[in-house]
Amino acid sequence: MIQIVDVRDNPELVDDAIQFFWKQWGSEGNFNFYKDCITQSCKTESEIPRFYLAIEDDNIIGSYAILRSDLNSRQDLSPWFACLYVRPEARGKKIGDLLQAHAINETRDKGYVKLYLCTDLMGYYERTNWIYVGKGYSLSDDEIRIYEYLIKD
């Protein structure tokens, strides 16, 4: 059975979460960035940021985060769905869909009516009702697609 857990509520998983997120999304030069993000998210009184892990048989098989900002050029949009990842050996079981649904429920529970994401993927998020709303730019000036999810009660 797959469990999705909030890292903030599971302090014993903080170090493993830092390693998992950093290995999937980071680079050699930004370990402390991920460490600080996740560590501070466990200390804040704010509803976001939050980091989540999908766990099966005591193994981390996936992740996602809800962040205030994931695209610096679009500070007007918040919150953001970020860091979706499913280990290759766990793919094909709709775990990505499960993580997205969990994020939408968490976002709704926190009182938000929209959720955003940025990606260079085409076709993946559209099938789960994300709507392409335009483009933004990364710090390196790369163009990236922005999607919105309208959260319904």
Confidence (pTM):
0.95
Of the pLDDT bands very low, low, confident and very high (cuts 50, 70, 90), residue 100 is very high
In order of start, what are the domains of the chain with their CATH numbers? 2-150 (3.40.630.30)
Question: Is residue 35 within 8 Å of residue 18, measured between CB atoms?
Answer: yes
User: What are the tens digits of pLDDT across the range 22-72?
Assistant: 999 999 999 999 999 999 999 999 999 999 999 999 999 999 999 999 998
User: What are the tens digits of pLDDT across the range 106-134?
Assistant: 999 999 999 999 999 999 999 999 999 99
Whole-angstrom CA distances from 116 to 8, 19, 42, 84, 141 are 22, 25, 22, 13, 19
Name the β-bridge partners of 137.
Answer: 143
Q: Does pLDDT of 153 surpass 80?
A: no
At 128 the three-state DSSP class reads: helix
User: What are the tens digits of pLDDT across the range 80-95?
Assistant: 999 999 999 999 999 9
Whole-angstrom CA distances from 101 to 21, 129, 142 are 20, 11, 28
